[in-house]
Amino acid sequence: MYHLERKTLELQNYKEEICQVHHFEVGTLLHYNYPIKVFQVRSKLDLNVKKVIKAYYKDSNYDEKKIVKHFLSEVAVLATIHHPFIMSMDFMGSFPRYLAYVMPFYEDGTLTKVLPSMHQEMSDEYFVQLCAAVNYLHYKKVAHRDFKTDNILITDKKVLIADFGLSDILPTEDTMATKRKGTVVYMSPEQFLKRPFDPFKVSHFFLHF
């Protein structure tokens, strides 16, 4: 009960802070993966403007340095990439209790949601779009490191690669990685071999799904 009350209070605090600073009205909590919360919001100045806020919560039970590092690595990538099939960031902010960035709201949801009812033609189209986006990321030396259908948003018959929380910007195209990252069911086998692997080829593995 105490836990539930604390959670409700935290949520209320978020709503107040975000509203005050950005003139947003907070709607649904889309996702909660401690210490990250993803909210749908809309502008009080124009109720037709819908956005999403991804907030990294600074919790006393969690190493703050790690949260800041995680957040900065995500926004650093988002600030350098501009592509029609990759999620864009509108702006970011630092607040006393959390760090956050704002992005457009994609109403159709994730690839996970649309996949069961998808026709072959559409799936071929999305595959081509994903290949173009991955090719661009690799050209920018960005390894996403967490490709999965939950991290691909859909809007208006196009894909948008999202969630750069685990991604790396690497010095060269042949830089090897040693650290295993991502979501286990989507991870390529070489990440389990305990020896250096190509972090870009790991993305190609996801495209086989």
Residues acting as catalytic residues: 146
Task: Output the smallest distance, CB 206 to ligand ATP, in A.
Answer: 13
Site residues, Mg ion (CB under 5 A): 151, 163
Binding site for ligand ATP (CB under 6 A): 30-31, 33, 36, 38, 52, 54, 103-106, 110, 150-151, 153, 162-163, 165
Distance, in Å, from the CA atom of 174 to the CA atom of 126, rounded to the nearest integer, reads 27
Instruction: State how far the Cα of 160 lies from the Cα of 154, in Å rounded to an integer.
Output: 6
What, of Mg ion, ligand ATP, none, does residue 103 touch, CB below 5 to 8 Å by kind? Answer: ligand ATP
Q: Which is nearer to ligand ATP, 52 or 202 (CB)?
A: 52
Beta bridge pairs of residue 94: 99
Residue 22 Cβ, how far from ligand ATP at the closest point, in Å? 15
Alpha carbon distance 114, 106 (integer Å): 13
- In angstroms, give the least distance from the CB of 57 to Mg ion: 16
By beta-carbon distance, which residue lies closest to ligand ATP?
A: 163
Query: Cα(197)–Cα(178) distance, rounded to whole angstroms?
Result: 6
C-beta of 31 vs 175, nearer to ligand ATP? 31
Which residues make Cβ contacts (< 8 Å) with residue 92, sequence separation at least 6?
Answer: 75, 99, 100, 101, 102
